[in-house]
Structure 1
Amino acid sequence: MFRKHRSGGDAEAAVERYESVLATAQEDQLVQVHTEAFAALSDTQRDELRTRLAQSVDEADRPVDERPETLARVATDLEVTRPGSLERVLGPLLPAVAASVMVSPVAIALFPYGYAGGTGVWQEDADDDSPLL
C-alpha cells in the first residue's frame, strides 16, 4: 500500500524532491543526475537549456555545445557557485528536468528507505528503523 506524502500534483512533488537533491547531493552526483536528465530532453529542449544557461553565466563559462555532459557541468557549476539559481534558469524546463532527475538511481539513493523515489508516496510497510545491511 502507498499513501500520499504531500498533496499536489506529480510535477510539484518532483520539483520539491529536485530541490532536495540540489541542496544535499555532492557535486559529482549533481553532474551525473543532470547528465541523465538532460539526455532525456528533446533536442529543442536542450537547445533552449543551452541558451538559458549561456544567458546566466559568464562568457568563459558558457556551454560550448548541447551535449548533456556539457550542459550538466555548466548547470552544476552554476548551482554550486550560486545556490538556488538553477531552478530559475531552468524556467519552463524545470518540471521535465525534475521528473527525469527523480528516476535517476543516484537521486533515488539520496532519499530515505521506503520512499518510492520520485513518486511522492511513502510505502506504508517500510521499516525505517531496520538496520542497514
Structure 2
Amino acid sequence: AAPSIRRKARELGVDIYQVDGTGPGGRISQEDVRRYVKQTMERLRAGQGGLPGQKPLPDFSRWGEVRQEPLSRVRQVTAENMSTAWASIPMVAQTGHARITAFEQFRKEFNSQADRQTKLTMTALLVKICA
C-alpha cells in the first residue's frame, strides 16, 4: 500500500494487514480500506461482533452452569485499559549473545585473591562497564 493509504488506514484504526488488496499484485487501495471499514461496521451492527480474525468464544455451558454477573466500574475500566494497551503497545523482545569468557576469568581471579567476604559478581562488572 502507498504511504498515503497506510496513513489513512492508521487514522481510521485499521490494521493494514487485515485488508485484502484488489489492486495490481494485491495492492491495497483507498477503496479497499473504505470497504474494510464498512464491512466491519456492518458486522458490528448485525451483532456478529468481534473484529475480523477474532475467534468466537467457546460454549462454556459444556463445562457446567454458567452465571453472568455485571462487572464493577473498576473492572470495566481495567478491562478497557488492558485492551487498549494490548492493541496499541508493540509486544517485542530482543535477545543478544556475547562472549564473556575474559570477564568471567577476571572475575574468578579477583574472587580467588579477595577475602572471603568480598565477591565480585557479573552484575557488578556489567554495571561498572555501563556506568
Alignment TM-score > 0.5, same fold: no
Report the structure, 1 or 2, having the larger strand content. 1
Question: Structure 2 length normalisation: TM-score?
Answer: 0.19
Q: Which has the larger radius of gyration?
A: 2
TM-score, normalising length: structure 1: 0.19
Structure showing greater relative contact order (alpha-carbon pairs closer than 8 Å, 6 or more residues apart)? 1
